[in-house]
C-alpha cells in the first residue's frame, strides 16, 4: 500500500490497470519533476493518441480525460502496459510479448481484454502505420531545421534576457516539441511490427537468423556521433552532458536523481573489425532473391532505428532549450527560483497572463518532497480493490539477461564513470542503464552488460552501432565488481565469471 499524492499524481486509468517503468526506467532519472513530466509524459501521451487515431480512426478507448498510455505516480514516470498491450493486439501479427520484449525488458504482459478490433480495421492499420513511417524521414529533416532556429532564438533571448523574447521561445517551442514526440512515437511503435515481420521472414530465408539479424539491423550512422561535434550551451549537442528527460536537474530534489558528467566524443578506437563485416558476409551467403528480401527488411529496420535515435535527440534538444530558458524567464515573474519545476509547461506558458497560477507550486512542492522518498516499484498494478487511491505494487520479475549485440568477449569489469579503462586488456562496461554519458565509452570497451534494458534500448542500438557485444537486462549486473574477469555472450545473453584452468 503506497500513499497517493493528489496534487501531482495522474489518476490511474480505470480500464488499464498495469503500469511499467520499462523503457523510462532505462534512460530517464528515477523521479522527474512536474515540469519535466509535462514536457515528456503529456506530449508523449498526445502523440500516442494521435498515432492511434491515425491508424485505427477515433476509438473511444484512446480518448477521455484519463492518461491512457502514460502515468506519473510519486514523481516516477510509467508507461501503461495494459494500454500498449491493447494497442499491440490491434495490429496484425503483433503479440503483446513482442512489445514487452522490445521495450519492457521482457516482463510478462497483462492479459489483453476481450474487446478485439474488426479484422478489416486491423488489416488497414498496417499500411497506415507504414505510411507514417515513410513520412518520418522528411519530418525529421524539417524538425532539425526548426530546432536549429529555435536554438538560435533561445541563445539570443538568453543573452539579452528580455521577457518577451523568452516567452516567444516557449511559445515557438510548443509545436516543435509536439512534432518531435510525434516522430519519436511513430518510430518507436513502428519498430515493433517491423521487427515481427522481419523475424518471420528471416526465419524462413536466412540461416542462423537469430544470430545474424542484429548484425543486419546495424544502422549505418547514428545521430549521436555527429552531435558530439557541437559543444557549448544551446549548441545542437549542448544537452549531451545533461540528464535525459530532466530539465530541473540542478535543483533539489531532482539533482539527486540525475547525476551526470560531461560527455566527450568517443576517440577512434583501434580498428579491430575485418574489412567485410558479418552483415555483408551473411547477405553474401544467400541467393539473389533471398538476399534482396533480407537486405531490404534490414535496411528498413536500420533506418527506423536510426530515426528513433534521431527523434530522441531532437526531443532532448528542445528539452535543453527549456532547461536554459525557464530559469531566465522566472526572474521576471513573481515566482521563486526553486518553484518553477513544480508548474507544468502549460502553466508556465500562461503565467505572464495569469500570475495566480504561481500559487499552485507550493502545494506540489510539498507533495513532491514527500513523494520522492516513497519507494516505487518497476511495475504497478491497480487491478484489485482500487478504492480510495489504494495501489498494489509488484516488483518486475527478474528476467534473465538478453543478448542484443552478438559476439562473445572476455574482459575486466569497469563501471562508469570509467576513468580507469585498462589500455592493455579488454574492458567490459557494466552499468545499471544507458544514459548520455555511457555512449562515449562504447568506443573504448569490448563489451557491455546492463541491469536494465530491452532489445530496442538506447544502449542496445548504440552497442550494435559500435559492434560491441552487449547483454541487457541482466539481473546479476549489480553484483559485478570492477576488476572481475567475466565472459559475456551477446547472442545468448549469458554472463559468467571467468574460471581459469591449467594443465
Q: Closer to other proteins by CB, 167 or 409: give it.
A: 409
Question: Could you identify the residue written with the cell 560531461?
Answer: 262
Is residue 278 part of the contact set for other proteins (CB under 8 A)?
A: yes
Interface pick for other proteins out of 408, 432, 443, 467 (rule CB under 8 A): 408
Contact 417, 485 (CB under 8 A): no
Displacement of CA 487 from its chain's centroid (Å): 27
The whole-angstrom separation of Cα 391 and Cα 386 is 6
Interface pick for other proteins out of 1, 120, 275, 395 (rule CB under 8 A): 275
Interface pick for other proteins out of 407, 440, 453, 473 (rule CB under 8 A): 407
Is residue 409 part of the contact set for other proteins (CB under 8 A)?
A: yes
Of the candidates 273, 230, 225, 256, the one whose C-alpha atom is nearest the C-alpha of residue 407 is 273
Of the candidates 495, 482, 477, 481, the one whose C-alpha atom is nearest the C-alpha of residue 431 is 477
Contact 307, 140 (CB under 8 A): yes
Is residue 491 part of the contact set for other proteins (CB under 8 A)?
A: yes
Q: Which stretch binds other proteins (CB under 8 A): 1-9, 28-36, 60-68, 405-413?
A: 405-413
Q: Closer to other proteins by CB, 131 or 496: give it.
A: 496
Element (H, E) at 430: strand 427-431
3-state DSSP assignment of residue 317: helix
Is residue 276 part of the contact set for other proteins (CB under 8 A)?
A: yes
Is residue 289 part of the contact set for other proteins (CB under 8 A)?
A: no
For the beta sheet containing 18-20, the strands, ordered from the edge strand earlier in sequence to the opposite edge, are: 70-73, 76-80, 18-20, 379-381, 392-394
Q: Which stretch binds other proteins (CB under 8 A): 79-87, 174-182, 277-285, 413-421?
A: 277-285
* 415-434 binders of other proteins (CB under 8 A): 426
The whole-angstrom separation of Cα 105 and Cα 395 is 13
Q: How far is the CB of 274 from other proteins (least distance, A)?
A: 4
* 214-243 binders of other proteins (CB under 8 A): 215
Is residue 26 part of the contact set for other proteins (CB under 8 A)?
A: no
Site mask, other proteins, residues 175-214, x = CB under 8 A?
--------------------------------xx--xx--
Is residue 284 part of the contact set for other proteins (CB under 8 A)?
A: yes
Q: Closer to other proteins by CB, 275 or 395: give it.
A: 275
Q: How far is the CB of 100 from other proteins (least distance, A)?
A: 25
Contact 477, 430 (CB under 8 A): yes
Q: How far is the CB of 503 from other proteins (least distance, A)?
A: 3
Beta-carbon contacts of 327 under 8 Å, excluding residues fewer than 6 positions away, are 337, 340
Is residue 288 part of the contact set for other proteins (CB under 8 A)?
A: no
Q: Closer to other proteins by CB, 59 or 467: give it.
A: 467
Q: How far is the CB of 474 from other proteins (least distance, A)?
A: 18
3-state DSSP assignment of residue 70: strand
Interface pick for other proteins out of 274, 356, 384, 387 (rule CB under 8 A): 274
Per DSSP, 351 falls in state: T
The whole-angstrom separation of Cα 182 and Cα 50 is 8
Is residue 493 part of the contact set for other proteins (CB under 8 A)?
A: no
Cross-strand partners of 393: 380
The whole-angstrom separation of Cα 170 and Cα 323 is 11
User: Total residues at the site for other proteins (CB under 8 A)?
Assistant: 31
Is residue 503 part of the contact set for other proteins (CB under 8 A)?
A: yes
Is residue 352 part of the contact set for other proteins (CB under 8 A)?
A: no
Element (H, E) at 402: strand 402-405
Q: Provide DSSP, 135-150.
A: THHHHHHHHHHHHHHH
Interface pick for other proteins out of 281, 296, 390, 397 (rule CB under 8 A): 281
Q: How far is the CB of 477 from other proteins (least distance, A)?
A: 21
Q: Which stretch binds other proteins (CB under 8 A): 64-72, 127-135, 234-242, 282-290?
A: 282-290
The three cell numbers of residue 287 are: 541467393
The three cell numbers of residue 186 are: 511513430
Interaction site with other proteins (CB under 8 A): 207-208, 211-212, 215, 271-272, 274-276, 278, 281-282, 284-285, 406-411, 426, 485, 487, 489, 491, 498, 500-503
Amino acid at each position: 500500500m503506497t500513499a497517493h499524492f493528489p496534487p501531482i499524481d495522474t489518476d490511474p486509468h480505470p480500464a488499464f490497470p498495469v503500469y511499467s517503468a520499462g523503457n523510462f526506467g532505462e534512460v530517464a532519472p528515477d523521479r522527474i519533476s512536474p515540469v519535466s513530466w509535462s514536457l515528456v509524459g503529456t506530449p508523449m501521451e498526445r502523440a500516442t493518441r494521435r498515432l492511434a487515431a491515425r491508424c485505427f480512426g477515433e476509438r473511444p478507448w484512446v480518448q477521455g480525460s484519463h492518461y491512457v498510455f502514460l502515468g506519473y505516480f510519486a514523481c516516477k514516470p510509467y508507461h501503461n502496459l495494459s494500454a500498449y498491450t491493447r494497442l499491440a493486439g490491434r495490429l496484425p501479427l503483433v503479440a503483446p510479448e513482442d512489445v514487452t520484449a522490445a521495450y519492457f525488458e521482457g516482463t510478462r504482459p497483462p492479459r489483453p481484454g476481450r474487446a478485439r478490433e474488426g479484422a478489416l480495421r486491423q488489416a488497414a492499420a498496417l499500411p497506415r502505420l507504414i505510411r507514417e513511417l515513410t513520412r518520418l524521414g522528411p519530418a525529421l529533416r524539417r524538425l532539425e531545421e526548426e530546432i536549429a532556429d529555435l536554438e538560435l532564438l533561445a541563445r539570443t533571448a538568453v543573452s539579452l534576457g528580455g521577457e518577451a523574447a523568452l516567452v516567444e521561445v516557449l511559445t515557438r517551442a510548443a509545436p516543435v516539441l509536439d512534432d518531435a514526440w510525434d516522430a519519436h512515437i511513430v518510430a518507436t511503435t513502428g519498430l515493433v511490427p517491423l521487427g515481427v515481420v522481419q523475424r518471420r521472414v528471416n526465419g524462413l530465408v536466412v540461416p542462423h537468423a537469430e544470430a545474424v539479424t542484429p548484425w543486419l539491423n546495424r544502422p549505418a550512422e547514428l545521430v549521436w556521433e555527429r552531435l558530439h561535434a557541437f559543444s557549448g550551451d544551446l549548441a545542437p549537442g549542448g544537452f549531451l552532458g545533461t540528464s535525459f528527460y530532466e530539465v530541473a536537474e540542478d535543483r533539489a530534489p531532482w539533482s539527486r536523481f540525475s547525476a551526470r558528467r560531461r560527455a566527450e566524443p568517443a576517440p577512434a578506437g583501434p580498428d579491430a573489425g575485418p574489412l567485410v563485416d558479418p552483415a555483408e558476409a551473411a547477405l553474401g551467403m544467400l541467393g539473389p532473391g533471398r538476399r534482396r528480401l533480407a537486405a531490404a527488411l534490414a535496411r528498413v529496420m536500420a533506418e527506423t532505428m536510426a530515426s528513433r535515435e534521431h527523434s530522441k535527440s531532437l526531443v532532448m534538444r528542445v528539452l535543453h532549450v527549456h532547461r536554459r530558458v525557464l530559469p531566465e524567464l522566472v526572474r521576471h515573474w513573481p515566482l521563486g527560483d526553486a518553484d518553477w519545476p513544480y508548474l507544468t509547461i502549460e502553466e508556465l506558458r500562461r503565467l505572464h497572463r495569469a500570475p495566480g497560477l504561481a500559487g499552485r507550486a507550493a502545494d506540489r512542492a510539498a507533495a513532491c518532497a514527500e513523494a520522492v522518498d516513497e519507494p516505487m516499484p518497476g511495475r504497478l498494478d491497480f487491478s484489485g480493490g482500487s478504492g480510495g487511491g489504494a495501489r498494489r505494487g509488484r516488483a518486475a520479475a527478474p528476467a534473465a539477461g538478453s543478448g542484443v549485440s552478438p559476439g562473445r568477449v572476455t574482459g575486466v569489469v569497469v563501471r562508469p564513470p570509467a576513468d580507469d579503462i585498462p589500455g592493455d586488456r579488454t574492458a567490459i562496461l557494466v552499468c545499471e542503464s544507458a544514459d548520455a554519458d555511457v555512449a562515449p565509452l562504447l568506443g573504448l570497451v569490448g563489451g557491455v552488460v546492463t541491469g536494465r534494458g530491452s532489445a530496442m534500448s538506447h544502449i542496445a542500438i548504440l552497442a550494435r552501432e559500435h559492434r560491441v557485444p552487449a547483454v541487457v537486462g541482466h539481473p546479476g549486473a549489480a553484483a559485478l565488481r570492477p576488476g572481475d574477469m567475466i565472459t559475456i555472450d551477446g547472442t545468448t545473453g549469458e554472463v559468467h565469471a571467468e574460471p581459469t584452468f591449467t594443465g
